Amino acid sequence: VPLADVPVGEAVVVDVDGTRVVVARPSEDEVVAFSANCTHAGTVVEATGGLELRCPNHGSRFDAGDGAAVLDGPAEQPLPPVPASIEGDLVVLSV
Ligand code: FES
């Protein structure tokens, strides 16, 4: 994923060979990534501005800046982390 596609302070949902992954950039030189499948029933979450994610199915919200912690249920578990690193002008994901 091009680093330029992930603005500082934002989260985006990308498709990696058919797997949806949340990539977030809490600061200039830090990226984090998570499975985009809601831990409630698997629906793909949406980025809603800033580092917040929302599941369109039953409304769970997650904070990509805090380990994808649950902000609002019904989900009870954070989104599973995906290893991510910045290499040059790319975000490299280990999906
Ligand atoms: S599937 Fe995401 S809140 Fe139910």
Cβ neighbours of 26 (radius 10 Å): 16
Amino acid at 44: V
pTM for the model stands at 0.95
By alpha-carbon position, which residue is closest to atom 4 of ligand 1? 58
Model confidence at 6, in pLDDT bands (50, 70, 90)?
Answer: very high
Task: Please give the pLDDT value at position 95.
Answer: 86
The pLDDT tens digits for 56-70 are 999 999 999 999 999
Pocket test for ligand 1, best of 34, 38, 79 (most atoms within 8 A of CB): 38
Give the pLDDT of residue 65.
95
Q: pLDDT-based confidence at 22, cuts 50/70/90?
A: very high
Residue 66: CB partners within 8 Å, gap ≥ 6?
Answer: none
Is the beta carbon of 39 within 6 A of some atom in ligand 1?
Answer: no
Neighbour tally for 45: CB within 10 Å: 29
